[in-house]
Amino acid sequence: MLPDIQFVQRPGVIEFGWGHLAAELLPHTELLRAATWTLTNDAPAALTYGYAQGPGRLIALLAERIAIAEHELMITGGTSQALDMLCKHLSQPGDVVLVEAPTYHLALRIFRDYKLRPVMLPGDQQGVHVTAVATLVRLLRQRGERIAFLYLVPSFRNPSGVTLSAERRAELARLATALELTVIEDEAYAELWYDLPPPPPIASFAPGSMLIRLGSFAKVLAPGLRLGWMQAPSSLIQRCVSSGMLDSGGGVNHFTAHVVLALLRAGDFEPHLLRLRNGLRARRDTLLAALARTMPRGVTWRPPLGGFFVWLRTPPTIDTTALLPIAEAAGVSYIPGERFYAGSGGRHELRLAFSLLSEADLIEGARRLGKVLREAG
């Protein structure tokens, strides 16, 4: 039989590779209540075709929550669907897309579907270097290249955990306006902070420019909902909303959107988010303490202040791609750094997700990985 779900749990392997939430972090009770309320009280609206932009009541609530106008917001089938839709509307095959190094590997997959050419931008612990963006944009345009957009994960980036500083967000917004560069900021992890909230979104620094912000309920509620939102200039929202697909099928994931609306209206979101942050913070702290005990000399990492991931750097003698089968044979898995780069790079880096595993598995997984890295180094 075909599988029902994406995640595969291999017996005997501690899977650090999957950036998914542990079952006990998912809001079962809240969603049961919201779905029951919706089917009891809101069924005619929830079960018919939806308004193309998304249910008006959900848009009104989200627009108020993030303090923007309703015509600048639409409901999406999650960030992946939004990225796919944006590629369709904003790019042509062969266009360049600027991305951070390293970047979210599955965004690269979507860009490849549209035959875009990712060009990676250097950065540091404050995020991407804005001067490098300016130089590259000018250089590429002088060479006659078309740049579809710049794609960033500004808060607790997948995979490196880096957060773009407030100064650079403001600088980037100014630069994007001056150069007429479209920027897509993917805020998948922005609400999952464990110490301090991230700076305001890039879009808040230059309203009216082509600054697009993507939000998702995948990480703060559940990925199976397939629900998110997009903030963009209303001209772009109108272009997206007037597609034949939405005209024929109505707004995406309309029933789910009603269930999330009911959950938000019941006041169940904020308490859930607090519980989720506490559960993830505890996992992060457990993993960091275990890494400090078990990693050999020369392996380094920075404590992430939010999100799902710890990004490890190994000595140059270790190739994390070549090491993966050996690690899996020893009962521990991860994603090699190479997957998060468009060209070369990442051979001495790897990503660990702490969102899925129990505290006992995080400790045992770190022990196994430490042993594998020590033997390889």
Ligand X SMILES: Cc1ncc(COP(=O)(O)O)c(C=O)c1O
Binding site for ligand X (CB under 6 A): 19, 78-80, 104, 153, 158, 186, 188, 216, 218, 223, 228
| Angle at 254 (CA atoms; ends 70, 238), nearest 5 degrees | 40
Q: How far is the CB of 19 from ligand X (least distance, A)?
A: 5
Contacts of residue 70, defined as CB under 8 A and 6 or more positions apart, other chains included, come to: 56, 59, 60, 63
Q: How far is the CB of 114 from ligand X (least distance, A)?
A: 16
CB atoms closer than 10 angstroms to residue 114? 19
| Total residue length of the chain | 377
Q: Is 282 exposed, middle or buried (0-12, 13-18, 19+ CB in 10 A)?
A: middle
Residue of 239, 227, 230, 192 whose CA lies nearest to 211: 230
| Helices (H), ranges, the chain | 28-41, 43-46, 56-65, 79-90, 105-113, 130-142, 166-179, 234-241, 244-249, 254-265, 269-294, 320-329, 359-376
CB atoms closer than 10 angstroms to residue 133? 24
Q: How far is the CB of 43 from ligand X (least distance, A)?
A: 26
Phi and psi (nearest 5°) for 114? Answer: -100, 15
Q: How far is the CB of 151 from ligand X (least distance, A)?
A: 10
Q: How far is the CB of 131 from ligand X (least distance, A)?
A: 24
C-beta closer to ligand X: residue 34 or 152: 152
Contacts of residue 148, defined as CB under 8 A and 6 or more positions apart, other chains included, come to: 87, 90, 91, 92, 95, 96, 97, 116, 182
3-state secondary structure of 373: helix
Q: Treating both helix axes as pointing N-terminal to C-terminal, what angle do 79-90 and 234-241 enclose, rounded to 10 degrees?
A: 100
Closest residue to ligand X using C-beta atoms: 78
C-beta closer to ligand X: residue 6 or 248: 6
C-beta closer to ligand X: residue 188 or 323: 188
Q: How far is the CB of 340 from ligand X (least distance, A)?
A: 11
Q: How far is the CB of 195 from ligand X (least distance, A)?
A: 20
Token pair in block for residue 261: 């609306």
Q: How far is the CB of 315 from ligand X (least distance, A)?
A: 27
C-beta closer to ligand X: residue 104 or 149: 104
